[in-house]
Amino acid sequence: MSLHINFRLSSSDLEFFRGVMLKAREKSRGFSQQQIIDNARKLLEKVNQSDTVDFIRDQMSQLEILANMLVDEGWGLIDEDRERVLSALTYFADPQDLIPDDTPGLGFIDDAIMIEIVCKALKYEIKAYREFLLFRATEDNRREDNTAPVRRSEWLETRRQQLHERMRRRREGQANADKTKSPFSLF
């Protein structure tokens, strides 16, 4: 048997988490990109080694895709997009977060809530990156050894550019729509 629990964060709740994120960014100013990525991955490893609930483990698994977006040379984020993803990871880079991680049963709940907020804010980046991963794997399998390395880089770069352009276009459209609905922004 499973149980589905749903809850809604109000505007003031979202502003609270935004404030927490801004504090985390401030605290992580001295961290390098690699430290932020490494700390986020350490948190994910800690979650996976803990006896936490599956819901939290599933939520936190999304940290890996965010970290991979930054280190995947084939994906090649431009500085503005890289900064958005890196900025989102800063909350997970500091072990001193809202609820201490070693609190039994609840230690990672704040992280799970924050990753949900982050993934909603980065939904177009995540969707485009997942499509890129699928395209790259599918094309590599389909073309196998029949494609010279230069040609591979050409078709991969073309698809990467298409996905980046679509991602930014959708993000801009969403930002314009949000201006009329809500002033909340994580970035």
User: Do 111 and 68 belong to one domain?
Assistant: yes
Query: CA gyration radius for the chain?
Result: 18
Q: How confident is the model at residue 186 (pLDDT cuts 50, 70, 90)?
A: confident
Percent of the chain with pLDDT over 90: 64
Look at residue 139 in the predicted model and tell me its pLDDT: 82
Look at residue 25 in the predicted model and tell me its pLDDT: 92
Final residue before a domain boundary, out of 92, 121, 150: 121
Q: Please give the mean pLDDT across all residues of the chain.
A: 88
User: Do 28 and 73 belong to one domain?
Assistant: yes
User: Do 88 and 127 belong to one domain?
Assistant: no
Q: What is the pTM of this model?
A: 0.86
Q: Which two tokens stand for residue 169?
A: 């276009």
> Tens of pLDDT along 61-112?
999 999 999 999 999 999 999 999 999 999 998 877 888 888 887 889 999 9
User: Do 112 and 129 belong to one domain?
Assistant: no
Full domain range(s) for residue 29: 12-121
* CA dist., res. 177 & res. 9, Å (int): 20
Q: Which two tokens stand for residue 20?
A: 């927490």
User: Do 90 and 44 belong to one domain?
Assistant: yes
The structural domain count of the chain equals 2
> Tens of pLDDT along 14-35?
999 999 999 999 999 999 999 9
* CA dist., res. 41 & res. 169, Å (int): 30
Look at residue 4 in the predicted model and tell me its pLDDT: 79
Say yes or no to pLDDT of 144 above 90: no
Q: Which two tokens stand for residue 183?
A: 């002033």
User: Do 100 and 45 belong to one domain?
Assistant: yes
Q: Which two tokens stand for residue 118?
A: 């982050």
Final residue before a domain boundary, out of 81, 103, 121: 121
Final residue before a domain boundary, out of 121, 139, 162: 121
Residue 136: name the closest of 166, 169, 158 by CA.
158
Share of the chain residues as helix, strand and coil, in percent rounded to the nearest 5: 75, 0, 25
User: How many angstroms from the chain centroid is the CA of residue 55?
Assistant: 17
> Tens of pLDDT along 32-72?
999 999 999 999 999 999 988 888 999 999 999 999 999 99
